[in-house]
């Protein structure tokens, strides 16, 4: 059995390319609503393709409501573009305006239905705002990292590999590093994986982007959690995919709904972050993990399991990854190490079977021909050291203390509620009634504080009564000060109404 969804099915490649090409030109305004498209014969001649190929592309545009047919006349562009606004000036918005303005929910809903094709990364815009209290960064405070140890290692690694800077890595990643990670994933997480099934990418973000590039075409459906990691949403939107939200709750998903969506809409992938989920902190239980794999197999949906904070747990280790239940190759597993070892090295391991690995490798070679070897070797030597375990244990304790400090500081305000995560870097916080993330964000930025607004984590752009606060980047004193400031701002806003 070869169950993997191909990047594009043989014989379909060409007409979906023509479809993409026409969609792109309509988006760019080459043809406006009710303009007639070139005849099948003319376009086939222009593109030097068979008429049937163009005919099928037009058929797909019609099926998606992008064009309509006039009897004996031809194909015409439907009312309403396949995206909400032209790209361009929109991208030049100021940092404050990352929060969708009034009506944004509608835009997000439309983009969710049709895919937007817009190039944006709302989270990255927030990170660019210079502030004193950064609760938006889900990054480890550099003071919690073993910095002296890391710098000692740099010297040792260069002594051991004097020609390190004079060599490329292989596209797939350094063999020794892959062997090491493979043994670790087998031993600690019981993953059935070989070093051929691992790819080293430049962070988890690159892995998401490569997977989206390989597997998604405009108008494809992607199942996503609601809420979820906003940069993944932006990535899928940019490919023109349609997002299909599935609520994530403390006890996981409504699997009947997931099944109904898979059956009805045949989504290409389900992007999940089931362990200490970003932003909620929830962990999907083991029973559901197993069931998800069964659903993926039954309906031919690729599960992309993003596991960025697997090792950052407080009391109990999390359940085994979804990947551990997969025998047929329907799960791709992303294990980034940015969140606890050396974020600057940007190392992520992607585990996938050969049907997925082959196109991924091509995409990786087109993107950068391989993650820098020096980063991989530095990472390898830190990762295999005994000191790493010690560091991890200390880090877990330090982060747990910071989580508690943040929780207590929030409890001093009126009407703030949050879930207590058992791992990870974030608190998902319900704002006091009537307070919206955009108003609070505007005021907060003015006073030197950032957080992640719920709106951008929501594929529908509606969760404006929620925010994500990271407790990992600021020390305890800053957390207390910052949260007190936030609570005060909320009270001021409530009184100014
Ligand atoms: C769920 C999730 N996936 C991926 C990433 C990106 O990871 P990296 O920093 O390794 O690119 C993040 C970073 O915050 C994340 O939270």
**323 touches ligand 1 (CB under 6 Å):** no
Is the per-residue pLDDT at 354 higher than 50?
yes
Assess contact for 456 and 267: CB atoms under 8 A: no
Q: What is the mean pLDDT of residues 259-288?
A: 97
- Mean pLDDT within 391-408: 96
Closest Cα to atom 14 of ligand 1: 138
Question: Ligand 1 pocket, 348 CB below 6 A?
Answer: yes
Q: What is the predicted pLDDT for the residue at 106? A: 59
Mutation choice for ligand 1 from 278, 312, 452, CB with most ligand atoms inside 8 A: 278
pLDDT tier, 46 (very low <50, low <70, confident <90, very high otherwise): confident
Q: Which of 12-26, 375-389, 446-460, 473-487 has the lowest mean pLDDT?
A: 12-26
Given a cut of 90, whether residue 397 has pLDDT beyond it is yes
451 CA distance to ligand 1 middle (Å): 16
For 470-482, the pLDDT digits (tens) are 999 999 999 999 9
Residues 404-425 have pLDDT tens digits of 999 999 999 999 999 999 999 9
Pick the atom of ligand 1 nearest to 337's CA: 10
Lowest-confidence segment of 2-6, 388-392, 449-453 by average pLDDT: 2-6
Measured from the Cα of 338, ligand 1's closest atom is 10
Q: Which among 137, 76, 51 has a CA at the least distance from the CA of 451?
A: 137
The predicted pLDDT at position 86 comes to 31
User: Ligand 1 pocket test: which of 273, 338, 452, 468 has the largest number of ligand atoms within 8 Å of its C-beta?
Assistant: 338
Give the pLDDT confidence of 73-107 residue by residue, as tens digits: 999 999 875 643 333 222 222 223 334 333 455 55
Counting from 1 in the atom list of ligand 1, the atom nearest the Cα of 336 is 10
Confidence at residue 112, expressed as pLDDT on a 0 to 100 scale: 64
List, for residues 153-212, the tens digit of each pLDDT value.
Answer: 888 999 999 888 988 899 999 999 999 999 999 999 999 999 999 999 999 999 999 999
Q: What is the pLDDT of residues 219-233, one digit of tens each?
A: 899 999 999 999 999
For residue 19, what pLDDT is reported? 87
| Whether the predicted pLDDT of 152 surpasses 50 | yes
**Burial environment of residue 481 by CB neighbours within 10 A (0 to 12, 13 to 18, 19 or more):** middle
Q: What is the mean pLDDT of residues 260-271?
A: 95
Distance 308 CA to ligand 1 centre (A): 6
> How far, in Å, CA of 493 to CA of 473, rounded?
26
Mean pLDDT of 381-394: 89
- Closest ligand 1 atom to 343 CA: 9
% of the chain beyond a pLDDT of 90? 71
- pLDDT bin (cut points 50, 70, 90) of residue 13 is low
Confidence of residue 341 (pLDDT cuts 50, 70, 90): confident
Q: How remote is the CA of residue 243 from the centroid of ligand 1, in Å?
A: 19
Measure the CA–CA gap between 194 and 186, rounded to whole angstroms: 9
Which residue bears the tokens 């030597």?
Answer: 381
Using alpha carbons, select from 105, 100, 80 the residue that is nearest to residue 90: 100
DSSP state of 436: -
pLDDT of 17 reads 79
Reading the block at residue 103, the tokens are: 């009506």
Eight-state DSSP code of residue 423: B
What pTM was estimated for this model as a whole? 0.81
How far apart (Å, rounded) are the C-alpha atoms in residues 233 and 227? 10
Distance 345 CA to ligand 1 centre (A): 13
- Give nearest CA residue, ligand 1 atom 7: 204
Instruction: Tell me the DSSP string of 129-183.
Output: S--SEE-S--S--GGGS-HHHHHHHHHHHHHH-TTGGG-PPPSS--HHHHHHHHH
- State mean pLDDT over 17-24: 83
Per-residue pLDDT of 359-387, as tens digits, reads 999 999 999 999 999 999 999 999 998 88
pLDDT of the residue at 116: 63
Q: Is the pLDDT of residue 3 over 50?
A: no
Atom in ligand 1 nearest the alpha carbon of residue 138 = 14
Overall average pLDDT of the 292-317 stretch: 97
**Average pLDDT over the chain, rounded to whole?**
89
Of 216-225, 244-253, 475-484, the one with minimum mean pLDDT is 216-225
- Confidence (pLDDT) at 16: 83
């Amino acid at each position: 059995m070869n169950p993997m969804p191909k990047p594009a099915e043989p014989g379909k490649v060409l007409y979906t390319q023509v479809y993409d090409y026409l969609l792109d030109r309509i988006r760019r305004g080459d043809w406006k609503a009710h303009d007639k498209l070139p005849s099948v014969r003319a376009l086939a001649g222009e593109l030097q393709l068979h008429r049937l190929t163009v005919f099928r592309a037009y058929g797909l545009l019609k099926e998606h409501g992008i064009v309509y047919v006039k009897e004996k006349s031809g194909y015409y562009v439907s009312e309403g573009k396949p995206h909400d606004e032209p790209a361009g000036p929109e991208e030049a918005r100021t940092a404050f305006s990352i929060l969708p303005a009034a009506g944004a929910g509608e835009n997000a809903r439309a983009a969710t239905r049709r895919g937007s094709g817009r190039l944006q990364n709302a989270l990255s815009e927030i990170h660019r705002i210079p502030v004193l209290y950064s609760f938006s960064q889900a990054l480890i405070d550099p003071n919690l990292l073993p910095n002296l140890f890391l710098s000692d290692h740099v010297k040792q690694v260069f002594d051991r590999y004097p020609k390190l800077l004079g060599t490329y890595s292989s596209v797939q990643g350094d063999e020794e590093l892959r062997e090491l990670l493979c043994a670790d994933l087998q031993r600690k997480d019981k993953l059935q994986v070989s070093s051929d099934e691992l790819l080293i990418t430049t962070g988890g973000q690159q892995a998401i982007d490569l997977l989206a590039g390989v597997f998604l075409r405009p108008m494809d459906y992607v199942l996503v959690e609601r809420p979820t990691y906003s940069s993944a949403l932006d990535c899928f939107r940019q490919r023109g995919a349609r997002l299909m939200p599935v609520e994530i709750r403390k006890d996981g998903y409504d699997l009947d709904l997931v099944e109904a969506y898979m059956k009805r809409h045949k989504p290409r992938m389900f992007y999940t972050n089931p362990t200490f989920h970003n932003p909620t902190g929830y962990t999907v239980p083991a029973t559901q993990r197993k069931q998800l794999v069964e659903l993926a197999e039954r309906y031919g949906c690729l599960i992309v399991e993003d596991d960025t904070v697997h090792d950052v747990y407080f009391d109990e280790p999390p359940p085994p990854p979804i990947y551990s239940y997969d025998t047929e190759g329907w799960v791709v597993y992303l294990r980034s190490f940015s969140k606890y070892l050396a974020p600057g090295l940007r190392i992520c391991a992607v585990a996938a079977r050969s049907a997925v690995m082959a196109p991924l490798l091509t995409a990786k070679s087109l993107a950068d021909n391989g993650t820098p070897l020096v980063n991989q070797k530095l990472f390898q030597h830190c990762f295999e050291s005994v000191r790493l375990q010690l560091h991890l244990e200390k880090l877990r304790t330090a982060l747990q203390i910071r989580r508690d400090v943040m929780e207590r500081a929030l409890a001093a305000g009126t009407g703030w509620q949050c879930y207590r995560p058992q791992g990870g870097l974030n608190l998902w916080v319900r704002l006091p009634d009537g307070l919206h993330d955009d108003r609070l964000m505007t005021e907060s930025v003015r006073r030197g504080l950032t957080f992640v607004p719920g709106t951008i984590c929501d594929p529908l752009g509606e969760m404006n009564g929620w925010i994500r606060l990271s407790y990992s980047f600021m020390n305890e004193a800053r957390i207390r000060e910052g949260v007190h400031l936030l609570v005060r701002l909320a009270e001021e806003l409530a009184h100014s109404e």
